[in-house]
């Protein structure tokens, strides 16, 4: 073979090796708890996947696995990401009780009434204190949901006395503690289990934000909804993470990593928080249209609930101290961050 032909053959071979790398196509398995028509898939997950597809010239796409269709349970999602079973998820770390104690600070009662402020504060706090709670995982965003309230099937909740004898679903261990302090019998479970538990009488009601109620048709299974006074922080909130398997991220070529980086972080967290804030009215309207009763507590009654739940803060601080952390300083930092970003 002549020298020019050799050079040509080598160039073709090099191109053959290089082009696949340059044109690498990636499918990311995105597993989550919601039915496809719920707010989170339609307003957050779907648009995010469309954006990374567009910015990668369709070289990076999501394979969506809604409503736990990829297998396992909601509580296993954090480990499925860590272990690389799934590539991406949006989930609640609090579903795995006690596993992420530092991030639980945003699940303490009466902390905030703004998901956007909670998102901004939670992102900063995560970077400063809690990334080590998520080994093998790249956190793309973190936030809290809109204001959480109590919803019941047959008994109105107007005061602390009304909680007596009621079995009420809670999403996280801090909300379990809250409901116990308020006088209810807490029953921990993911939102996916609430419709069945309510229909069977396993629970009499549940703690949830307005956003998710229509997705699971829970406004059709309840009659009463109790909101705390809007001048006070909301009864509770639960934290979310948008998580990616770290090894999967590391395996991406540099340009696709940049697409992920450009669609994660503080700005994404705040954007998602705003989406959750804006979702309240839609969820509440579903209950109103059905003729359900919405009760708003007075400031004085809300203060009674705040006073009843106060020991939970001391318990969390003591738990952090036992772990060799400065619980008081962590709680104060979370409060200071929330105040910084409050609307």
Mean of pLDDT over the chain: 94
- Band of pLDDT at residue 17, cut at 50, 70 and 90: very low
**What are the tens digits of pLDDT across the range 269-319?**
999 999 999 999 999 999 999 999 999 999 999 999 999 999 999 999 999
Q: What is the DSSP track for 41-107? A: IIIIIHHHHHHHHHHTTTSEEEEEE-TTTTSS-GGGHHHHHHTTS-SEEEE-GGGSTTSSTTGGGGG
- What CATH topology corresponds to 26-146+238-278? D-Maltodextrin-Binding Protein; domain 2 (3.40.190)
Its pTM stands at 0.91
pLDDT at 107: 97
- Band of pLDDT at residue 24, cut at 50, 70 and 90: confident
Domain ranges of the chain: 26-146+238-278, 148-236+282-341
Do domains 26-146+238-278 and 148-236+282-341 share one topology? The answer is yes
Regarding beta strands 60-65 and 26-32, do their DSSP bridges make them parallel or antiparallel, or are they unpaired? parallel
**What are the tens digits of pLDDT across the range 39-50?**
999 999 999 999
Pick the CATH number of 148-236+282-341 from 3.40.190.170, 2.60.120.260, 2.130.10.10, 2.30.40.10: 3.40.190.170
Provide mean pLDDT across the span 193-204.
97
Q: Please report where in the chains the tokens 């504060």 appear, as a residue.
A: 121
Query: Considering the chain, what percentage of its residues have pLDDT values greater than 70?
Result: 93
């Amino acid at each position: 073979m002549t020298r020019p032909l050799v050079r040509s053959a080598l160039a073709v071979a090099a191109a053959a090796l290089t082009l696949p790398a340059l044109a690498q196509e990636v499918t990311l398995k995105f597993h989550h708890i919601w039915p496809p028509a719920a707010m989170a898939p339609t307003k957050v997950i779907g648009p995010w996947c469309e954006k990374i597809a567009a910015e990668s010239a369709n070289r990076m796409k999501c394979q969506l696995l809604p409503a736990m269709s990829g297998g396992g349970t909601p509580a296993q999602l954090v480990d499925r990401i860590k272990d690389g079973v799934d590539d991406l998820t949006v989930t609640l770390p609090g579903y795995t009780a006690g596993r992420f104690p530092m991030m639980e600070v945003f699940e303490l009662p009466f902390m905030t009434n703004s998901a956007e402020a909670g998102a901004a504060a939670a992102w900063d706090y995560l970077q400063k204190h809690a990334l080590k709670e998520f080994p093998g995982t790249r956190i793309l965003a973190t936030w809290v949901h809109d204001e959480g309230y109590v919803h019941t099937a047959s008994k109105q909740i107007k005061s602390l006395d009304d909680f007596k004898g009621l079995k009420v679903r809670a999403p996280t261990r801090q909300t379990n503690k809250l409901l116990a302090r308020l006088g209810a019998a807490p029953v921990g479970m993911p939102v996916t289990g609430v419709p069945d538990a309510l229909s069977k009488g396993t629970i009499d009601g549940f703690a949830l934000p307005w956003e998710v109620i229509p997705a699971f048709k829970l406004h059709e299974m309840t009659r009463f909804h109790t909101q705390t006074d809007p001048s006070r922080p909301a009864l509770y909130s639960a934290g979310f993470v948008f998580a990616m398997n770290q090894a999967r991220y590391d395996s991406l070529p540099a340009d696709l990593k940049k697409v992920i980086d450009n669609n994660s972080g503080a700005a994404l967290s705040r954007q998602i928080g705003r989406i959750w804030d804006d979702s309240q009215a839609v969820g509440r309207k579903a209950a109103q249209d059905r003729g359900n009763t919405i009760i708003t507590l007075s400031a004085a009654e809300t203060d009674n609930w705040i006073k009843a739940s106060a020991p939970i803060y001391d318990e969390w601080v003591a738990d952090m101290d036992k772990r060799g952390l400065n619980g008081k300083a962590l709680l104060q930092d979370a409060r200071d961050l929330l105040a910084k970003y409050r609307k």
